[in-house]
Amino acid sequence: MALAHTAKPAPGRARKPRSRRSRQTVVAWSFAAPFLILFVIFMAGPIVASLAMSFTDLTTRDLRSPFGVNFVGFENYVALFNDSRFVRSLANTAVFVLVGVPLTMAVALLVALALNNGITRFRTFFRVGYYAPVVTSIVAVAIVWRFILQPDGLLNGFLGVFGITGPNWLENELTALPSLIFMAVWRNIGTLMVIFLAGLQGVPREHHEAAMVDGASAVQRFWNVTLPAMRPPILFAAVITGIGFLQFFEEPYVMTGGGPLDATLSTAMYTYDQFGFGNYSYASAASYVLFLAIVVLSLIQFRFLGKKD
Amino acid sequence: MATSVAPPVVTVPRERRRRTPMQQRPRLWLYVVLGLGMIAMIMPFVWMILGSFKTTAEIRQYPLNFWPLEPTLDNYTELFVRLDFATFFTNSLVVAVFVTAGNIVFSSMVGYALAKLDFAGKKVLFMLVLGTLMVPGVVTFVPLFVLTANLGLVNSYPGLILPFLIAPLGVFLMRQFMLSLPDDLIEAARIDGASEWRIFLRVIMPLCGPAVATLTILTFLASWNNFLWPLVVATSEDRYTLPVALALYSVGQNAAEYGLMMAGAVVVVLPILLIFVLLQKYFVQGIALTGIK
């Protein structure tokens, strides 16, 4: 690593005296040292250890001697995919992400468009309101939503005004997962709205003007001018929302306990349950399956953020 | 469009629109739609606050009544007398303060190195930061618990705090901000013979106010709302943070005490909502700086 600069000197830095660079190397690593030590112990270490553990039979009984355990190869992974509850949790998580993410993005984009183009007054007021759920604790709002979605809760009371008898949202197999998705959309609109608003401000006004002169309608301009220019923020929003939604845990933990009949059991919750049973290596394997999906999304985001520099 | 229509009537508004295409006439229906959406966004909070002043019997009665008939503070009294919410609140606060302080100090230091120093291994370090930006707690909590147990830190403040003293996101944010500071300042200080530590403390940090403010808010918020790790590592009530206490009570023996749970949610959410409304520009700045909430 120390030889890296002699091997390929950066063209712009060739002027600088080499001694200064090596002096700065010592200073720079001393700046980075406290972070790096904590990072290795509490982040990089556990990421590697989690993978390593997933190939062992470590349980709560081995807690005091984590190196006295046996290597079992892919046994945990084989067991996972033979467990119908785990497979069900993967399916639930996939539905949560594949329905929730596009829905959040669509609503957020509509709100951002309305705030950016359609209205001139009360912008800050609306922005604060739509963003507010983002800053709140998921646990706290999940409890509030649980009461709203009770059979005799606020939502069914509201529907009752129109003569509609709402279902028992959280205890009906068909409506439980959609209810959680609905709440997650509600909570995440704000983040994407702000990202999209920033993106919309970057769409060149001249392009809109040119399209208008050519007689393009508002809808045509949205599809042919706004959307293409918004590709980077839209991709970025999809990635970070996807990563967030893949980990959904608090919502089923507080609102449904994973039920009814595992209809809302998420992979993160399955992992936590296995950890609770003391099956540490098995839980690690489950979390690594989830991690794999997140890594795929992260790689896209990695390239995207890398390009911005 | 029909060409036979009298020209002036059609062209005047068209001309006006063409001049300011982005500022179309405000449309009333949009205000209505946005307003209805706003009600849907805010209603859970309104319901939460109103519910916290109702008795459970009143919340459960049917048909619903919106305003509390006989507003009562009993729920709050019970939270702080029968349940120990003062302790949970203190725990949340202590953890959030230490976590925030750690992130400011450590992120600023690495951020400075990454933004303003030229050194061997810089690229690798930055890759590490970028590559772990999105690693979620669910991937690391099992080995982290094994480690914490072996260090004897389960159910302790250090156990709650240490794993969160650093976060790649903070480093990324500080680096991005420091990149925008002019190099001339640093060069001038170097010519004057200032050490890098002195430059960092006396030249760079005083200019980082906005970034530090944003980092403070984002980190404090994340810590305050953090759930999985405190749930795992806090094993007795004296170390519960607010979300852990709230979640465990809400699925435990107090599950049916609606009013009490609503009051608990208020205690967790309201301080953050107030801070947000007062400092909302810094929240938005965080997203602008990093692209990440």
B110 Cβ partners below 8 Å, 6+ apart? A31, A32, A35, A36, B125, B129, B171, B174, B175
pLDDT band at A301 (very low <50, low <70, confident <90, very high): low
pLDDT of residue A304: 60
Instruction: Mark which residues 35-64 of B lie under 8 Å from A by CB.
Output: 37-38, 40-45, 47-48, 51, 59-60, 62-64
Would the pLDDT of A68 be above 80? no
Distance CA B293, CA B281 (A): 13
Report, as an integer, the average pLDDT of B207-233. Answer: 92
pLDDT band at A308 (very low <50, low <70, confident <90, very high): very low
Would the pLDDT of B198 be above 60? yes
Which of B42, B121, B276 is the closest to A1 by Cβ?
B121
Half-sphere exposure of A149 (CA within 13 A, CB side): 24
Which site among B142, B144, B250 would you substitute to test the A interface, given the most A Cβ atoms closer than 10 Å to its Cβ?
A: B142
**Higher per-residue pLDDT: B237 or B57:** B237
* Nearest-by-CA chain B residue for A234: B291
**Higher per-residue pLDDT: B130 or A36:** A36
Report, as an integer, the average pLDDT of B172-178. Answer: 91
pLDDT of residue B2: 35
Would the pLDDT of A93 be above 90? yes
Q: What DSSP designation does B26 have?
A: P
pLDDT of residue A61: 75
Tell me if A268 sits within 8 A of A247, measured CB to CB: yes
| Partner-chain contact A212 B262, CB within 8 Å | no
pTM for the model stands at 0.85
Tell me if B186 sits within 8 A of B254, measured CB to CB: no
Which of A47, A140, A249 is the closest to B268 by Cβ?
A140
| Partner-chain contact B243 A137, CB within 8 Å | yes
Calculate the CA dihedral of residues A82, A83, A84, A87 and round it to 10 degrees: -80
Is residue B225 within 8 angstroms of chain A, CB to CB? yes
Distance CA B258, CA B263 (A): 9
Element (H, E) at B75: helix B74-81
Q: What DSSP designation does B94 have?
A: H
Condensed to tens digits (0 to 9), the pLDDT of residues A157-212 reads: 888 888 888 888 998 889 999 999 999 999 999 999 988 988 888 888 888 888 88
Mean pLDDT, chain A, whole residue set: 85
pLDDT of residue A6: 41
Is residue A286 within 8 angstroms of chain B, CB to CB? no
Would the pLDDT of A23 be above 50? yes
Q: What DSSP designation does A239 have?
A: H
pLDDT band at B94 (very low <50, low <70, confident <90, very high): very high
Cα separation values, A107 from A19, A110, A258, Å: 56, 5, 27
pLDDT of residue A58: 83
Instruction: Mark which residues 120-149 of A lie under 8 Å from B by CB.
Output: 120-122, 124, 126-141, 143-148
Distance CA B167, CA B152 (A): 23
**Higher per-residue pLDDT: A305 or B205:** B205
Tokens matching residue A84: 């119908």
Tell me if A200 sits within 8 A of A112, measured CB to CB: yes
Element (H, E) at A262: none
pLDDT of residue B263: 93
| Partner-chain contact A131 B280, CB within 8 Å | yes
Would the pLDDT of A25 be above 80? yes
CA A2 to chain centre: 37
Sign of the alpha-carbon dihedral angle for A35, A41, A46, A47: positive
Tell me if B250 sits within 8 A of A136, measured CB to CB: no
**Higher per-residue pLDDT: B256 or A284:** A284
pLDDT of residue B289: 63
* Nearest-by-CA chain A residue for B37: A130
Q: What are phi and psi of A71, to 5 degrees?
A: -85, 130
pLDDT of residue A11: 47
Mean pLDDT, chain B, whole residue set: 84
Q: What are phi and psi of A90, to 5 degrees?
A: -65, -45
Report, as an integer, the average pLDDT of A301-308. Answer: 57
Distance CA A202, CA A232 (A): 11
Which site among B138, B187, B279 would you substitute to test the A interface, given the most A Cβ atoms closer than 10 Å to its Cβ?
A: B138
Report, as an integer, the average pLDDT of A77-82. Answer: 93
pLDDT of residue B10: 33
Tokens matching residue A61: 């009984």
Distance CA B142, CA A275 (A): 7
User: What proportion of chain B, given as a percentage, has pLDDT over 90?
Assistant: 48
Condensed to tens digits (0 to 9), the pLDDT of residues A217-231 reads: 888 888 888 888 888
* Nearest-by-CA chain B residue for A17: B118
Contact residues on chain A for B124, CB-CB shorter than 8 A: 1
